[in-house]
Amino acid sequence: MTEHSYPHSHVFYRKLRRTFPLIVRGEGCYLYDSAGRSYLDACGGAFVVNIGHGVAAIGDAMARQAARVAYVNGTAFTHEPVEALAAALASRAPGDLELAYFLGSGSEAVEAALKLARQYWVERGRPTKHKILALVPSYHGNTLLALSASAREHYRVLYRDWLVPMPRVPAPYPYRCSCRGQGRLCAACSGDALEAAIRQEGADSVAAFIGEPIGGSSTGASVPDPAYWPRVREICSRHDVLFVADEVLSGAGRTGTWSALEPYHVTPDLLVMGKGIASGYAPLSAILAPRRIVDVIAEGSGGFLHAQTFSHHPVCCAAGLAVLDYLDRHDLVGRCARIAPMFHAALEPLRALPHVGDVRGRGLLAGIEFVDDKDTGAPFPRAAHFAESFADAALEAGLVVWPNVGQADGTNGDLALLAPPFTIKAHDIATLVTRFRLALESTVAAVMSRS
């Protein structure tokens, strides 16, 4: 039997020190490998698969489009899927965000959104506005500008000399903030830290502020105070700073509303989407922008200076359009909101387990933060590799989770994130919790034996 690992395969794997199960089929919330094992995909791959695996209608829509026209140059032609998908996203978007620019990944879309913010200010005749403010912890992608905006040290260290310096704003992170998200909020949780950063840098030099409405992998589904994003919107408007909302992970219904910002009644200046808008059936991301920004460029240079060969791709757009149709026909965003209370109620007892410091989230997005000391919240030392060990143990138990590290202080900290398909059922949730417990017991025993 072929071993799917380095150096036994011609694949340059993302991890070079493990053997990969060969997945041959997916159905609903489950993946099946060539050995006959099943895995409950509790994180939708990488927070991507919202409609579930194995929906043939999406592949059929892609095949029909590929048979008609698979590719055209986006600088010369348009096509039906991109026109229809742009209109569909505009109809769902908050406020005045009615123009969609399509790319392949979240990293690409963040990169392009930040470049768009810069070009907008230059064409407005304000070239001094070039700085991007970003939260810490945060994660926005792995292309160089997106990585510059990210506060994920273990990704940045090798490339530090290539990255653009970006001023940092403490993220609202109630579990680790001094205020614990209650009573008189600290500067991070109230938005005062953003105001202070803009004043320190000088508003005339700040082009944009970027943040995730609900914490992604960097802060493990951390939910800010309800007043935070309205305050951010007010601060950005008052200082003439563009507010870029990164909803690559938290958007497309993942948190129970189409836009994660919807409950806050806030409209950003640019909205970045990805992952769930095509549910992993094709690589697809988008920037949603208002005419008030795009008009400046249309009346100036006449074009956005960000060319990519596969932007506005017909087959990828057909996939996105089919996914949106499937979400609507099956009311899956509504279902996500309805099943979320059951999901979080089932997870809540995990809080009592050894080394679980916090359980949090919104919709079908949840983060479980692991700690060495529950009383103080002190993280495990990085050398323990707790999150990675837990993810491995979970996989062995037939559960796919997303591990993340470094959120506590940039180096230490361990999380497991859950983001199952919106089609998850009550018995699947029960299975998820049972397998999570087994994996945690195994991990704690292994880590303790090594210490």
The answer as to whether 11 is a domain residue is: no
Residues 260-315 have pLDDT tens digits of 999 999 999 999 999 999 999 999 999 999 999 999 999 999 999 998 999 999 99
Say whether pLDDT at 1 is over 60.
no
230 vs 9: CA distance, rounded Å: 51
The answer as to whether 1 is a domain residue is: no
Task: Identify the domain containing residue 291 by its residue range.
Answer: 57-329
Q: Return the pLDDT at 268.
A: 98
260 alpha-carbon distance from chain centroid: 11
Query: Residue 450 — very low, low, confident or very high, per pLDDT cuts 50/70/90?
Result: confident
Q: Return the pLDDT at 391.
A: 97
Do both 260 and 348 map to the same domain? no
Give phi and psi for 96, each to the nearest 5.
-100, 20
Say whether pLDDT at 448 is over 80.
no
Say whether pLDDT at 451 is over 70.
no
The answer as to whether 4 is a domain residue is: no
Do both 161 and 129 map to the same domain? yes
Three-state secondary structure call for residue 280: coil
pTM for this prediction: 0.97
The answer as to whether 7 is a domain residue is: no
Overall number of domains in the chain: 2
The answer as to whether 79 is a domain residue is: yes
Residues 134-190 have pLDDT tens digits of 999 999 999 999 999 999 888 899 999 999 999 999 999 999 999 999 999 999 999
Do both 133 and 223 map to the same domain? yes
Last residue of a domain, which of 314, 329, 344?
329
Do both 41 and 78 map to the same domain? no
41 CB-near residues (< 8 Å, 6+ apart): 26, 29, 30, 31, 49, 53, 400, 420, 421
Do both 101 and 119 map to the same domain? yes
Residues 47-60 have pLDDT tens digits of 999 999 999 999 99
Q: Return the pLDDT at 215.
A: 95
Per-residue CA distances from 275 to 248, 254, 284, 391 (Å) = 6, 10, 7, 21
446: CATH: 3.90.1150.10
The answer as to whether 148 is a domain residue is: yes
Average pLDDT, the chain: 96
Residues 322-360 have pLDDT tens digits of 999 999 999 999 999 999 999 999 999 999 999 999 999
Q: Return the pLDDT at 432.
A: 98
Q: Return the pLDDT at 449.
A: 80
Say whether pLDDT at 15 is over 80.
yes
Do both 49 and 117 map to the same domain? no
263: CATH: 3.40.640.10
